[in-house]
Structure 1
Amino acid sequence: MALRPYFTRAAGAVRPALARRLSVDRRALVALRAALGALLLADLLLRARSLAFFYTDTGALPRSALVARYPLTANLSIHAVFGEVWWVALLFVAAGVAALALLFGYRTKAAAICSLLLLVSLHARNPLVLNGGDSLLRRTLLWSLFLPLGSGLALRDRGRCRHPAAVGLLLQPIVLYVVNAVIKLRGDAWPSGRAVRMVFSIESLTVGLGEQLAGYPNVLTGLGIAWVALLCCSPLLVLATGHFRTIVVIAFASAHAGMSITLGVGLFPLVSLAALLPYLPPAAWDSVERPWNVIARRARGVGTGVRACLIRAGRALSGTSRSPLRRVVAVGEQRTNRIVALVGDKGVLAAAKGAGRGLATALLIIVVVWNAAALGYVEAPSTEVVEISPEETRWDMFAPSPPTEDVWYVAVGTLDSGERVNVIHGGDPEMNRSDRQWGAYPSARWRKYLEVVRWSGDDELRRQFALGLCARWNATHSTHVESLTVRVLSQPTRPNATEPTQLSSARTFGC
């Protein structure tokens, strides 16, 4: 009993310190919601370039192959209900509408729920093209569902959000950083500083300023060591407060911004930048609130126009008052009003909030345990139960060591006219390696997918890749491909040395 006052006093001192570090400024949630909407739109636009190839039955992973490889995951995908282009395109449009609503803060909760459901469905349709950025985007959107995302674009509410989901939002990136640091330190390439030089010697990966930066090996060595040190310091994102926390956030933001202009890793750096927004302290938001709101007022007209377009589109789809769709909408509105009236009861609303906190807490525990399993500290669940192991979902980012080879694909198609063409890029297949287009991939999705094709050893997956290339070419050209020879070429990634190109494999498929 004599110790009780001391524990009470200690708890009273610790509680404000935890609240200060594990709560999120509500203005950060508005900015995060707008960033998520913009990222979802950008992701859809980038994926749309290979919509038929990656998400339809005429592409590289038809529904039959998806079910055979991922029987449980396939059931989560609305995109897999039909295999035609029109269905996937319709869902892309629906996801774009939800992302626009999320961006401008129109019916925010509904927009966030629809965005998450369609994003999970899209990811489940083709897990072979996913990367760490997809996982972080999906998880960040999930945590956001439990939080007050506000409406519109203006920053008004200066309060703090204290919720288990806010803790999850803050701990999720740190868990990824720490896991990545541990994996990197298990090898010798990153601690020695060689890793970044190896990464920038991969021509098919470097873009923009990365091509110039590759010529400065000493700079790359320093950047590699600094990045590992920064990853090890990632817990400071929550342990630090005030201006020191802002400095830590700026350090991580600078690193991700550098990745975006030097490496072709898709939207991952931009998703990481968005995930850093909740760490910014109130003082940082005080300084950006006024200029942000000026821009928000100017964008309000665009948001109003978008909202009007969405309403008109809904009316056009509904048609006349006698149309079946309008009757369905009317019934839906009646039931929604009943639910709103029910939720309006304080007891039910309190129960819903309590359930949300409980669910967010359970998810937080799962995240920690899952990532501990990814490092081997906890026994991982059987892949027969969940299909995907923790090791597959962890953020490796060239860890414990970057690739030792620069690999690219050459698909030489023989047309019905007898002509030979490069089926992936078009043009003459007899191109020199010195031409960067020869080793480039159409997108970061293609590189990720072809890594799986190469290392999985699945002959059926390789055959579907070849058939998908044939269908892709035949859909846009008058002369069709009769046969296709896929060559896998590689070159060792050794800085300051020119290594010969090697032919790893070559297989011919009939179209």
Structure 2
Amino acid sequence: MALLRAAVAAVVLLDLGIRSTDLEAFYSNMGVLPLSVLYEHLWNPYVFSLHTSSGLWQVEAVLFLLAAVAAVALLLGYKTRVATFISWLLLVSLQNRNPLILQGGDDLLRMLLFWGFFLPWGRVYSLDARKRPAPAQLSYFSAATVAYIVQICLVYWCTALLKSSPEWSRDGTALYYALSLDQVLLPGGRLIYPYPELLRFLTLATYRLELLLPFVLFIPVAVPWWRMLFVFVMYGFHLGISLTLFVGLFFLINMASVLGLLPASAMDWLEKHIVPRAQQLGPRVATRLAPLQPRLATWRQAVQVRIHTSWAVSEGLRRWLRTLREGLVAGLLVYICWWNLDSIVTPQWMMKAPLRWIGFLTRVDQHWGMFAPSVFKDDGWYILDGTTKDGRHVDLNRHGAALTYAKPASVVSLFKNDRWRKYSENYLFVDNSYMRPYYCNYLLRIWHENPANPPLQQLDVIYMKEVSQPDYKVPPPKPELLCGCAP
């Protein structure tokens, strides 16, 4: 659990770092989703967001900094429970600010922090642990550990059950269609794309892996062996995804999520090979801290006295709070399982609307429909056709190069990061047509802020649509004008 805590904190920091490069674009009123548009088209009255307190990117930067401080504290295990809560609070707030750039990995990261609040993942390998005696035993069982394991299983079970198209379970063509999407295709995917039989095998193997492998976590015999198998296979599975498909932090979040399943033997190996090296730094640190030792000893003695005098009084309260916590976690786990079932089973099992506010408020709502029920077939790339005042056409998506309708060698390279790729995917849907003028005008403003760029009199957002076909057929792309704007 300590490794899980550190990995989750590291991913949160990485996520904040990537998002911080688009503070104005995604989180301010000067970007693609002003607060007025968010409230009009996307807002749920049951959610909350501290990031909607202002439309200024400077305010967003302060909130990002606070989130980074909390994530560092979580990484080090300092005030772990408080750091976990603040990290979860600010992550939920950030995700609610712009739902147009979210993907399945964001749901999982949010849930790892949520369940982590109820786990003792700061009990060892943390700054908090230095102030407490070592635990009598390192094994731990509670409603929260059950919820954590079930949550991991739900990710893969629901992903498989939602893949109801024959291309996943019968035809084995899903991976072929996924790798036909140039907007997510990476070099590793290009290597295996020409081999249809290999793609069919990998498709069927993926479907069965997601559906069946989580069951090994409930086998009551040889538990360490089965858990190591699960972690090993999941790491190979997500490493393969990261080499073939452009999925942002999705693979890292999933790889971090299973670290809490590692058995004691794995931790023994890590302690044997890693901890001794870290301990070599101990004498240097001790020398520098030597002048502070008397003061620290006095403070430690005072703390121990306070702990011993208050222990007898608080023990009964602790038991009562522990029972209350176990009941709360069990109830939330049942609710989350029900929520996931709602997306799979027939309508008569559907969760009634009045009960959904709990999921939206706590953001335990989740949906694991990755490439489900079938793979998206509408592929293509964007052309940002800018018309200069002297009549020339330049493509803003290629840094002002002369306009061409030729397909780029790498469509993925047109996206700054996976957040922009997800935004461009949502930009296509007719239901999201309200997004289009804001994106167009944002691009115009950014372009004209650089005095080296020639002034534009018109900007057209064009999508070169290329629908994926079976048997490696490639239809000619059809340009679709999505939006036009002028200064």
TM-score range, shorter chain: 0.7 to 0.9
Cα displacement (A) at 1:428: 1.4
Q: Residues 220 and 357 (structure 1 numbering): CA distance in 2 closer, same or farther, change over 3 Å? A: same
Asked whether the 8 Å contact 1:34–1:153 carries over to 2, the reply is no
Residue 474 of structure 2: SS of its match in structure 1? coil
Q: Report the counterpart of residue 159 of structure 1 in structure 2.
A: 138
Contact 2:342 2:351 (C-alpha < 8 Å) held by counterparts = yes
**Residue 334 of structure 2 is aligned to residue 365 of structure 1:** yes
Counterpart in the other structure of 2:301: none
Structure 2 residue identity aligned to 1:468: Y
The reply to whether residue 179 of structure 1 matches residue 151 of structure 2 is no
Verify the 8 A CA contact 2:381 2:411 in the aligned structure 1: no
Looking at structure 1, the residues matched to 20 and 313 of structure 2 have their Cα atoms a distance apart, in angstroms, of 41
User: Could you list the runs of 5+ residues in structure 2 that have no partner in the other structure?
Assistant: 287-305
- The farther-off stretch of 158-167 and 52-61 is 158-167
* Paired letter, 2:209: L
Q: Does the alignment pair 1:470 with 2:470?
A: no
Q: 2:440·2:483 contact (CA, 8 Å) conserved in 1?
A: no
Name stretches of at least 5 consecutive residues in structure 1 with no aligned partner: 1-28, 305-336
The 3 A distance-change label for structure 1 pair 467 and 45 is same
User: Which residue number in structure 2 is paired with residue 488 of structure 1?
Assistant: 463
Tell me the residue number matched to 1:91.
63
Separation in structure 2 between the aligned mates of residue 205 and residue 58 of structure 1, nearest angstrom: 28
Partners of 2:21 and 2:389 in 1: how far apart?
Answer: 26
State the TM-score, normalizing by the size of structure 2.
0.83
Please give the alpha-carbon distance, in whole angstroms, between the structure 1 residues aligned to 2:36 and 2:68.
Answer: 27
Quickly say closer, same or farther: Cα 1:285–1:260, change in 2 above 3 A. Answer: same
Counterpart residue type for residue 344 of structure 2: L
Three-state SS of the structure 2 residue aligned to 1:182 is: helix
Counterpart CA distance in 2 for 1:198 and 1:419 is 37
Distance 2:473 2:34 in 1: 42
Displacement after TM superposition at 1:439 (Å): 7.2
CA RMSD in angstroms, aligned pairs only: 3.3
Q: Which among 180, 196, 199 is matched to residue 217 of structure 1?
A: 196
For residue 228 of structure 1, report the CA deviation from its aligned partner: 0.8
Q: Distance in 2 between matches of 1:185 and 1:299?
A: 55
Cα shift at 1:178 = 0.9
Note if contact 1:56-1:85 (Cα within 8 Å) is conserved in structure 2. Answer: yes
Specify the alignment match of 2:290 in structure 1. none
Q: Does 1:138 align with 2:110?
A: yes
Contact 1:59 1:464 in 2 (8 A): yes
Distance 2:51 2:284 in 1: 30
Kept in 1, the 8 Å contact 2:242–2:251? The answer is yes
C-alpha separation between the residues in 2 aligned to 1:230 and 1:373?
A: 23
**What amino acid is aligned across from residue 368 of structure 2 in structure 1?**
W
Write the mapping of 1:146-295 to structure 2, written as runs, cut at 5 A. Answer: 146-150=118-122, 153=125, 159-240=138-219, 241-294=223-276
The number of residues matched between the two structures is 449
| Greater shift in the superposed pair: 273-282 or 71-80 | 71-80
Cα deviation, residue 419, structure 1: 5.0
| Pairs within 5 Å for 1:57-456 | 57-72=29-44, 76-150=48-122, 153=125, 159-240=138-219, 241-294=223-276, 296-297=278-279, 345-377=314-346, 378-382=349-353, 386=357, 393-415=366-388, 419-431=392-404, 432-437=406-411, 440-456=414-430
Amino acid at match of 1:229: R
Which amino acid in 2 is paired with 1:182? L
Q: Within 1, Cα distance between the matches of 2:398 and 2:46?
A: 30
Whole-Å separation in 2 of the counterparts to 1:484 and 1:496:
34
**Do 2:183 and 2:379's aligned partners in 1 also have CA atoms closer than 8 Å?**
yes
Q: CA deviation at 1:210?
A: 2.1
Tell me if structure 2 keeps the 8 A contact 1:491–1:500.
yes
CA shift at 1:244, angstroms?
A: 3.0
Task: After TM superposition, give the deviation of residue 47 of structure 1 in Å.
Answer: 1.3
Give the TM-score normalised by the residue count of structure 1: 0.79
Per the alignment, in what secondary structure is the counterpart of residue 419 of structure 2? helix
Which string of whole-angstrom CA distances, capped at 9 and with x for unpartnered residues, describes residues 464-484 of structure 1? 222232233344555454432
Distance 1:149 1:217, change over 3 A: same
CA drift of 1:300 comes to 8.2
